[in-house]
Amino acid sequence: MSRTESEAAFLARYDPADYARPAVAVDLMLLGLPGGRPTILLLQRDRHPHAGRHALPGGFVGIDEALDAAAARVLHEKAGGARAHLEQLYTFGAVERDPRMRIITVAYLALLTEAAFAEALARAPALHPGTIAASSAGEGPVTVHAIDGAALPLAFDHAEIVALALRRLRGKLDTSAVGFSLLPELFTLRQLQDVHEAILGTRLNKPAFRRRMLDRGWLEPTGRFETGTSYRPAELYRFRPNPSHPPSPTLSQGE
Amino acid sequence: MSRTESEAAFLARYDPADYARPAVAVDLMLLGLPGGRPTILLLQRDRHPHAGRHALPGGFVGIDEALDAAAARVLHEKAGGARAHLEQLYTFGAVERDPRMRIITVAYLALLTEAAFAEALARAPALHPGTIAASSAGEGPVTVHAIDGAALPLAFDHAEIVALALRRLRGKLDTSAVGFSLLPELFTLRQLQDVHEAILGTRLNKPAFRRRMLDRGWLEPTGRFETGTSYRPAELYRFRPNPSHPPSPTLSQGE
DNA sequence: TCAATAGTGTCTCTTAGACACTATGAA
DNA sequence: TTCATAGTGTCTAAGAGACACTATTGA
């Protein structure tokens, strides 16, 4: 082909409508730790495929909308604009994953602080919280339960998405700064340890955890302390991104 | 909506053609270590967007084709059927990443043994090898060079894909079994260390590396030895997946 | 014998886990 | 004073890096 052909002529000949295209969606796993238990926010389906089952909130990607922007929009629409750390997880593209039509979905993990989690629940009453049974093994299928203990069967391949999200989060928890996305601006070292323990499903050694976190250089002591405790108040820290590690902004590349 | 409505009636009303859809493609980063240098296989574009630049081999995802199947097909079509370990990396969905039209691309990493790399080069003459300048820092933009040292500018956002792939590979090299995908069936511990050093861009401590690898329980000594060396021949090992860790099959979930 | 690399023994240093200890605020 | 938790000092165990040593092959 001649490289002198005009771009307009080229575009005219390049016909994107020649082939049927899959639909592209984003699905969000909205994760918080209310009461120290990993909990996700689900919508109960009232429509045909998997009616009655619970599904991750999602939506189709607009033709002029970036993937990350679609994830942010779905977060806004389905969770009442709650602030969250969004991070792309994995793209699920099995042919029959949705019986209606071919839908490729890009799964995102959205981490909510306790306040944001409560706010999302308040503003979007359709969202049902489901606690993740943290099988300590870390492998195998994940099961989700309602507050009353009833099992919440998930629609489509969403159990797979939840399992992958939890594995990924566990894997990068100690080497990245994602853990701070689940905490408020000011927090104590015990709260940080609680976050790690809730996600990993294990107990951690206190002195070792404190040493590791403080040696990372990510924690800025504020000189302020908890209030309202009936025991010795703990010092409040702030997360300060380290120049050597990425600052874990919203919409960072998932890795 | 009534849950007694028939599925056929539901599907008829659900019109997937209501909205314009992005095209979905897969792009493959074919990586090998010829001569101990991380090298990828690229196609030089002769067409309009970024003509003259080099691009990752890719192709559109068929309407009845799973994502992983599309990646395997592109591997077969563009690399002459070379065997490779395929692993999904990340999905790139910026709106203007391709000026022709909206294309969302799912990036895959394909790891080739030295033999598979040579075979791909032989069977697909259009593929140009490009060595990745392993900036020891690990961050920052990646540059790719031809064998003669000339810079190979990449098309689209492919430099971003290459950088992400290398970061991911480095991150999971020591905790997963991906490294074995770059080695033949039988290999020496030195060859395994060479793979790790090439990918990480650093030198590793020999006794510590041997201890770590042997303690993993992934290496099965064969009792056989190298031949043709002019020095003491090294023992040949075989990779044996550990039941506690996933066996790293082709098309495993990227994480 | 020498050259070159395989493979190992051992020392040190760093870091995690364990555990007990001191510190501090409220009832 | 007691209680509950914050925060620390120290011992031990495990693992990595450093370095030197022995082992084995071909020339």
Residue B217 sits in a domain whose CATH number is 3.90.79.10
Q: Please count the residue pairs, one from chain A and one from chain B, whose beta carbons lie less than 8 angstroms apart.
A: 123
Average pLDDT, chain A: 88
Q: How many CB atoms lie within 10 A of CB A75?
A: 25
The answer to whether residue A9 sits within a structural domain is no
Please give the pLDDT value at position B19.
81
Q: What percent of chain A has pLDDT over 90?
A: 82
CA-to-CA dists, residue B5 to A48, A52, B14, B64, angstroms: 8, 14, 13, 27
Q: Which chain D nucleotides are covered by protein, judged by CB under 7 A? A: 3-10, 15-20, 23-27
pLDDT at residue A199 above 70?
A: yes
Are B65 and A95 an interchain contact pair (Cβ–Cβ within 8 Å)?
Answer: yes
- Strand C atom within 7 Å of A230 CB: yes
Domain around B114: 16-251
The answer to whether residue B126 sits within a structural domain is yes
Please give the pLDDT value at position B9.
47
pLDDT < 70 regions, chain B = 1-18, 134-140, 243-255
Chain A residues 117 to 146 whose Cβ lies within 7 Å of strand C are none
Chain B residues lying within 8 Å of A1, measured CB to CB: 46-47
* Mean pLDDT value across residues A164-173: 95
Q: Which of A19, A63, A100 is facing B22, going by the closest CB pair?
A: A63
Query: Between vectors from CA A157 to CA A156 and to CA A160, what angle results, nearest 5°?
Result: 155
The three-state DSSP-derived secondary structure of A80-142 is: CCCCCEEEEEEEECCCCCCCCCCEEEEEEEEECCHHHHHHHHHHCCCEEEEEECCCCCCCCCC
More confident residue, A193 or A248: A193
Please give the pLDDT value at position B133.
86
Please give the pLDDT value at position B198.
96
Please give the pLDDT value at position B135.
64
Are A95 and B253 an interchain contact pair (Cβ–Cβ within 8 Å)?
Answer: no
Are A164 and B253 an interchain contact pair (Cβ–Cβ within 8 Å)?
Answer: yes
**Tally of domains within chain B:** 1
List the beta bridge partners of residue A111.
A31, A85
List the beta bridge partners of residue A52.
none
Please give the pLDDT value at position A138.
57
Chain A residues lying within 8 Å of B100, measured CB to CB: 10-11, 14, 16
The answer to whether residue A3 sits within a structural domain is no
The answer to whether residue B6 sits within a structural domain is no
Q: Which residue of B has its CA nearest to A102?
A: B63
User: Is B18 in CB contact (< 8 Å) with chain A?
Assistant: no
Q: How far is the CA of B38 from the C1' of C19 (A)?
A: 48
Query: Residue B136 has what DSSP assignment?
Result: T
Please give the pLDDT value at position B197.
96
Residue B157 CA to residue B51 CA, distance in Å, equals 14
Give A11-66 pLDDT, tens digit per residue: 444 455 568 999 999 999 999 999 999 999 999 999 989 999 999 999 999 999 99
Give B133-189 pLDDT, tens digit per residue: 866 455 667 999 999 999 999 999 999 999 999 999 999 999 999 999 999 999 999
List the beta bridge partners of residue A129.
A41
Chain B residues 162 to 221 whose Cβ lies within 7 Å of strand C are 188-190, 206-207, 210
The answer to whether residue B5 sits within a structural domain is no
The answer to whether residue B87 sits within a structural domain is yes
Interhelix angle for B189-200 vs B158-173, to 10°?
A: 140
Which of B:196-235 have CB within 8 Å of A?
Answer: none
User: Is A111 in CB contact (< 8 Å) with chain B?
Assistant: no
Residue A54 CA to residue A34 CA, distance in Å, equals 19
Q: Which nucleotide is nearest to A191 (CA to C1')?
A: D6
3-state helix, strand, coil in chain A (%, to 5): 30, 25, 45
Q: How far is the CA of A233 from the C1' of D1 (A)?
A: 20
* Mean pLDDT value across residues A199-213: 95
Please give the pLDDT value at position B139.
65
The answer to whether residue B193 sits within a structural domain is yes
Give A110-141 pLDDT, tens digit per residue: 999 999 999 999 999 999 999 998 664 556 67
Please give the pLDDT value at position B141.
78
The answer to whether residue B7 sits within a structural domain is no
